[in-house]
Structure 1
Amino acid sequence: MKKIFLVIMVCLFSQFSFAKAELGNEYKLKTILSVEGRQGIAVDEKYYYVSSSTALYKYTKDGELVQENKTPFTALEKEANHFGDIDVWNGEIYTGIEIFDFGVSKNIQVAVYDAETLEYKYSIPWIAESGQVEVSGLTVDRDRNTVWMSDWTKGKYLYRYNLETKKYDGKLHLRPDPQYVQGIFAIDGKILISADDGDADYDEADNIYMVDILDYSKTAAYVTLFREMKDFLRAGEIEGLAIDPTNSDLLVLSNRGTRIDRGMPVGFYPGYDKELHELYIYEKVK
């Protein structure tokens, strides 16, 4: 009986050892990690997952690169050249992919990869009738079993797909609409939105916004400022974001050093000869 009791307690502890992540009201910078990818960030209990435009990377939470997939598009039915922001849930990495060239996109889809192997598994097709013309990022609403996608060229809407049916399920009108949406993350009935709306030529900070998604029957919702990213080492290009499920850390990916034209790198700022990709990790203060 004692052995059975111990087994039950170990199982319960394993199941509930990580508290549910909570969205904070205030964060302070804890550390900055250099990473390979320039597009998206996702996190589970053990690893950080980073996307570049054409690759997936897996890091320990100490910043050690442990796995990579530099040919992630070979098994796709439709050609692709671009990952946006990503998310990870139930052992699967959800990615928004497309052909992207100076602000023009095609072949949009949700492509799902195995979090253990980083290998492609399946795709959810994009519905053109939704009005979406680009995918800059996505997030899984874990409470509703849906995936939301953002559009960099037209930030007016977020687009929702049902993960059970694999079908388009509606869109949310953002009022006002953020400029140049780069990443999104769903938590506590809200979506955080990273926007590349600061002009790096003038050292303007990018921003993170927030919108309520608790009521799926609503077709529009008001956007509020969540955080001004004034603590980046240099104003550049904010990218994906996520919340760590183990400690509620806010993770924000950012690039610096490269000039951007219509979403494409076109040279470097003075003092740089390469683009730097950095993962900013913020601790929840309250």
Structure 2
Amino acid sequence: MRKIFLLLAGVFIGIAASAQHIGTAYRLKKVIPVSGRQGIAIDKDYYYVSDTKALYKYDKAGNVVMKNLQPFQHPEIANHFGDIDIFNGELYCGIEKFEYGRGQNIAVSVYDTKTLKWKRDMNWEPASGQVEVSGIAIDREKNMVWMSDWVDSRYVYCYSLETGKYYTKMQCRPAPYWCQGIFIADGKMLFTADDGEATYQIADNIYIADISAVPFTGLKDGEQFSVVDNKPVKTPGKVAAGAMAGRLTLFREMSDFRRAGEIEGLSIDPANDDLVVLNNRGTQILLGMSQGPFTDEGYTQEIHELYIYEKIK
């Protein structure tokens, strides 16, 4: 009996140790340069970084151990990764064709963390109202996947991992300006927002919202709106049947980046609860795309870095 108790205790300790928890105060521990500029996901051994058109796997000392430079199954219809997340040994990635502030052909692509190879896709539901995917976050407690929208950051969109179907959306109040990435732990969602201004050295921010209750709303029959020849057009079709209301508050101002730039994805390390945030610096950004370096400051290219923050409480 004592052996069984000890074994069970070890199992529960292991589960607790691998769970990710959000803190209230963090201290910058180190900065790691990486090749990717979009997203970050973490398991107990590795950092996974998405570039716009590539996936990288790093050990936690910052060494590249694997990369996939041709990750898209159909590169003619997809050219862009956003922020990413990990669940059950699989890498969940938001993909799309992104050009100057607009996304098309949105999907959730799932990759194997051991090989970085594509495994399958989850379909996007256009009737939800989502027009871009900047980030992916897994709600491990509810078996759901959420997507953020950089173009219209008023909403984040939820799908059931069990069915693969659209579940609901949450209105973000106030809306995070240009949401770049999301992460979920402890029944809360973290949002990175590119709401600073690199030109004026104004810092970006992270926000937080409670998502402990997520009621189903789904779709209903209604009227879809589009614009044809600069005129609004109504057509019968499916529309979002409702939404939940979310209240966002400031979680952290990222004033300790080496330079204000473009904040991207974020994650929490399951091994030690480090908060890890990806930031790009050194170039001017227009409609989500780099327009060249700040040459007057000595930059010749964009620099991508993981900022590793130790949780102190």
Asked whether the two chains share a fold, i.e. TM above 0.5, the reply is: yes
Which structure would you say has the larger Rg? 2
| TM-score, normalised relative to structure 2 | 0.86
Q: Relative to structure 1, is the Cα distance of residues 77 and 145 closer, same or farther in structure 2, using a 3 angstrom cutoff?
A: farther
- In structure 1, distance between residues paired with 2:100 and 2:312: 39
**Corresponding letter in the other structure for 1:37:** G
Equivalent residue, structure 2, for 1:273: 300
Equivalent of 1:253 in 263, 278, 285: 278
Question: Matches of 2:207 and 2:7 in 1, distance apart?
Answer: 43
The aligned amino acid for 2:311 is K
Superposed CA offset, 1:79-135 (max 9, x none):
210000000111000000000001011000000000000000000011000000000
How big is the shift at 1:19? 4.6
CA distance in 2, matches of 1:178, 1:187: 19
Alignment correspondent of 2:124: 126
Among candidates 101, 106, 109, match of residue 107 of structure 2: 109
Structure 2: gaps spanning 5 or more residues: 216-242
Other-structure match for 1:59 = 58
Cα pair distance change 1:200/1:77, threshold 3 Å: closer
Matching of residues 1-286 of structure 1 within 5 Å: 12=11, 15-16=14-15, 18-73=17-72, 75-76=73-74, 79-217=77-215, 219-269=244-294, 270=296, 271-286=298-313
> Which structure 1 residue ranges, 5 or more long, are not aligned?
none
- The answer to whether the 8 Å contact 1:141/1:147 transfers is yes
Q: CA RMSD in A?
A: 2.1
Whole-angstrom CA distance in 1 between matches of 2:95 and 2:27: 32
1:157–1:17 CA distance, 2 compared to 1 (3 A): closer
Range that drifts further, 118-127 or 264-273: 264-273
Sequence identity (%): 54
Instruction: Name the count of aligned residue pairs.
Output: 284
* CA shift for structure 1 position 18: 2.6
Q: Which string of whole-angstrom CA distances, capped at 9 and with x for unpartnered residues, describes residues 130-178 of structure 1?
A: 0000000010000000000000010000100100100000100010101
**In the TM superposition, what is the alpha-carbon distance from 1:10 to its structure 2 partner?**
11
Residues 13, 166 of structure 1: alpha-carbon distance in 2 compared, 3 angstrom cutoff: closer
CA shift, 1:20, in A, is 2.4
